[in-house]
Amino acid sequence: MEEIIRARGHEHVSAEHSSTFEITTDDFLTPAGDCILAIEADRAPADFDPDFVAACQDSGATITVTIEAGGYTESVTGRGDPDLEFTNERSAVGRTSEYVDDRTIVNDAEFAAEGFDRDLVAALADGAEVTVTISVE
């Protein structure tokens, strides 16, 4: 099962955060948003199919987030959690920790924003169109 989000990069994408990465529906980004990879997302966790959400709420689920932009692709894998809500209407956040809030889409991710390929990050900073694919097994 998968959910797809379309978004775009922004000149302030720095991808320097060490514990999270984020995709937001917001249409702006300040330099302080060092976890944000893309803005103007066309969907948020609250829009996801209930069956997809239920699959992600299994603690044994493997969740993979794939970011494609500017000819570059990178995937990060983590796990599901029974406490995942998928109710936020603005942002989707991947975390390297076990912390869960209404924005969290994956826990125990292999890496956060700072771990993404720098060529991909450069494409995001150039404002590239972004496809985010979230899959669950």
Q: Provide the pLDDT for residue 105.
A: 98
> Residue 87: its pLDDT value, please?
98
Q: Where are the domains of the chain?
A: 2-136
CB 111 within 8 A of CB 69: no
Residue-level pLDDT, tens digit, the chain, 137 residues: 999 999 999 999 999 999 999 999 999 999 999 999 999 999 999 999 999 999 999 999 999 999 999 999 999 999 999 999 999 999 999 999 999 999 999 999 999 999 999 999 999 999 999 999 999 99
Residue 38 CB coordination number (10 Å): 27
Kindly report the pTM of this predicted structure: 0.97
Neighbours of 105 (CB within 10 A): 31
Among 59, 73, 88, smallest CA distance to 133 is for 73
What CATH number should be reported for the domain whose range is 2-136? 2.60.120.630
Selection from 37, 49, 81, 44 nearest residue 62 by Cα: 81
